[in-house]
Structure 1
């Protein structure tokens, strides 16, 4: 049956994997005959290139990131009139945003579904009127990464009473269930497309694609490359992405003497072309969910070396079969995997070919079928 589906995220245009997932999934739902509306809590400053005509309505509740709640420090602070006025304005603006969200939900047809992609956005959905709608919450990171952050408390507070909530792997679902979350299931991210041709794997280039933030571990990658570069002087590392850590990372690169072998490529709106120009892909994240960049690299036939930082990573990359994994945060081990891949073209070709074939188990038709099964289950 055709449903109204609302996909709610922190932002509808922020540069990053969740935004890419949001538009990919909206397209998938639309192609399956559903009526989709993507909603962001706010518009983002660091924007992602989006489809000119996405094929569905797109709404941002705030024009910019809303202010955080005011927490007075001490008795004197409680009586500061300007702070109290700003807090009153914030509360009033949030009330208007929630009312707008409730209005969008109220216009939906019977059987509508709300998919909340990030736990922060659930704060607004939780205050909105969702009468008659099924609410699905999601987490795009591993159990361990959530457990070590403030988001763990948010998940426990906001997700325990909704209709269903999804993580990306069965291993993480089992861990959350063991933690008392009895409404949890799992569903992987989908591979958007398979490039017509794989990378020729002829360029002496290693590629990294991701935001320049602590989570993505580019500082660890630079430390890794400092061990690889002296033994592979004719290879180059291309770092694609932007982020708040860029200045510090560039300084680290210079301090390590890597300016001649590291190329800062900035953001790219053509990931497929970036991967086609690489012979090896590396992912150095401290934490992940089910990384789309890893899926895309493997779909392009680019052999991958990655930190085994989450169940989603080791579900995508089968170590020694279609890629190489290193223990999370182990810089010498990741350097060893890169040295093996950069030094052995036969290994690159074998792993790249197997990766391109094996990653198709996460195809859009298969993931779309599982979404339909979930929607039908929630209607029982």
Structure 2
């Protein structure tokens, strides 16, 4: 029997459409079920929302009603701009209120409580309050390479050496961060959220993509890939599930490629298992990933995957040539080849799909929860 703890999961948002939000509520549910007292905290409420539990069984708090304003130094002509000075005063006042809210949540927590900062950005607020009585675990849900190419790399190097443990998603990335001087680094995989009772029959001539319609997910490259596949698979369709700011441009790109007859824009879905059950192949065209939940869910449904090998987490999940097919990141010709192989060979689809369903269960919720409990016990020593 594990010891009950106060656990706080602090994320960018508690309701934003995306994998980290889904992971946050999944882990909150698992920790609550294991007897821990859980509080989910988000920096802000989101405009593009995902379905979250109405009565989750744990506390949920947002520090802001909407995305907070970004700090803009009062330099040059801005020093003399009355609107700019007023906006800065409003931003500072709002951040002071947000900081007070976060402090009211964390200050009463007993010693031994654990704060898991699930993304890099919320650490900005956490660093401004007293957490000396708490164990602080920092996390990133993206690969080292994706962080390295962004401003988050310098933020991590500056702020994360102080946390009790810095978690990434794979041993491969943990080794790279250790070489960068972060000696508190460890890794923790995401957990498989759902294993359908009945796998996909793989009878529909549908290739499925699930993800936000944003640059990171590479749907533009997926359309370029499908333009190479569609002429050889006239009886197949590509179903794109997701929503996001890039949708108008992507639809326009689809029309320009002449793909409107074979691409279906399905919008966001709260029934991922249903979408996968109606598909025979899953495709992931991301420029960068962490440990993608949608990829694991597809494999759990026995839907074989073709994906860009864009992160250690992807090749940790997919065993290339055994339970899925990987292509070099950004190589649309190679991804098209993988899709042509899977769509053109029912025996290959079935064999890889069935192996995928078995292999992905090594990331079961029970196993990952055990890893978290081991980590909590280690940090308590």
Q: CA RMSD in A?
A: 0.8
SS of the equivalent of 1:201 reads: coil
TM-score relative to the length of structure 2: 0.98
Q: Per-residue CA shift, 1:77-126, capped at 9, x if unaligned?
A: 21222211211221121112111111111121221000001111111111
Q: Kindly provide the CA deviation profile for residues 258-314 of structure 1, in whole angstroms up to 9, marking residues without a partner as x.
A: 000000000000000000000000000000000000000000000000000000000
Cα offset, 1:73, TM superposition: 4.4
User: Among 12, 17, 20, which residue is 2:14 paired with?
Assistant: 12
Report what 2:325 is aligned to. 324
Per-residue deviation at 1:342?
0.1
Q: Could you list the per-position Cα deviations for residues 37-83 of structure 1 after superposition, in whole angstroms to 9, with x for gaps in the alignment?
A: 00000000000011121110110010001100022342x32122221
Paired with 2:106 and 2:319, the residues of 1 have a C-alpha distance of: 42
1:131 offset after TM fit, Å?
Answer: 2.4
Question: What is the TM-score when the length of structure 1 is the normalising length?
Answer: 0.99
Cα distance per residue 1:206-251 (max 9 Å; x no partner)? 0000000000000000000000000000000000000010000000
Q: Is residue 2:240 matched to residue 1:239?
A: yes
The whole-number CA distance in structure 2 between the counterparts of 1:289 and 1:335 is 23
Residue 48 of structure 1 corresponds to which residue in structure 2? 50
- Alignment match of 1:64 (pick from 66, 69, 72): 66
Residue 117 of structure 2: aligned partner: 116
Q: Aligned pair 1:135/2:156, yes or no?
A: no
Is 1:39 aligned to 2:8, yes or no?
A: no
2:16 match: secondary structure: coil
Q: Which residue of 2 aligns with 1:125?
A: 126
Deviations 1:119-150 (A, max 9, x none): 11111111122121000010000000000001
1:110 and 1:190 map into 2 onto residues whose CA distance is 28
Equivalent residue, structure 1, for 2:108: 107
> Where in structure 2 are the equivalents of 1:66-85 lying within 5 Å?
66-74=68-76, 76-85=77-86
Question: Aligned to 2:38, what secondary structure does the other structure show?
Answer: strand
1:26 — aligned with what? 28
Q: Is there any run of 5+ residues in structure 1 with no aligned partner, and where?
A: none
Q: 1:366: which partner in 2?
A: 367
Match of 1:263, SS state, is: strand
Maintained 8 Å contact 2:74/2:85: no
> Does the 8 A contact of 1:305 with 1:323 survive in 2?
yes
Would you say how many aligned residue pairs link Structure 1 and Structure 2?
379
Give 1:139-288 correspondences, 5 Å limit: 139-288=140-289
Retained in 1: the 8 A contact 2:110–2:133? no
Distance 2:29 2:217 in 1: 27
SS of 1:127's equivalent in the other structure is: coil
Q: Secondary structure at the match of 2:323?
A: coil
| Aligned-partner SS, 2:361 | helix
SS of equivalent residue, structure 2 residue 231: helix
Q: Which runs of 5+ in 2 are unaligned?
A: none
- Counterpart contact for 1:119–1:158, Cα < 8 Å: no
SS at match of 1:324: strand
Please give the secondary structure, in 1, of the residue aligned with 2:266: strand
**Matched residue, 1:293:** 294
Report runs of 4+ in structure 1 exceeding 4 Å deviation: none
Measured in 1, the distance between the counterparts of 2:13 and 2:159 equals 19
Please give the secondary structure, in 2, of the residue aligned with 1:237. strand
Q: Where do 1:87-106 residues align within 5 Å?
A: 87-106=88-107
Distance 1:178 1:364 in 2: 30
Question: Corresponding residue for 1:338?
Answer: 339
User: d(CA) in 2 for partners of 1:254 and 1:263?
Assistant: 12
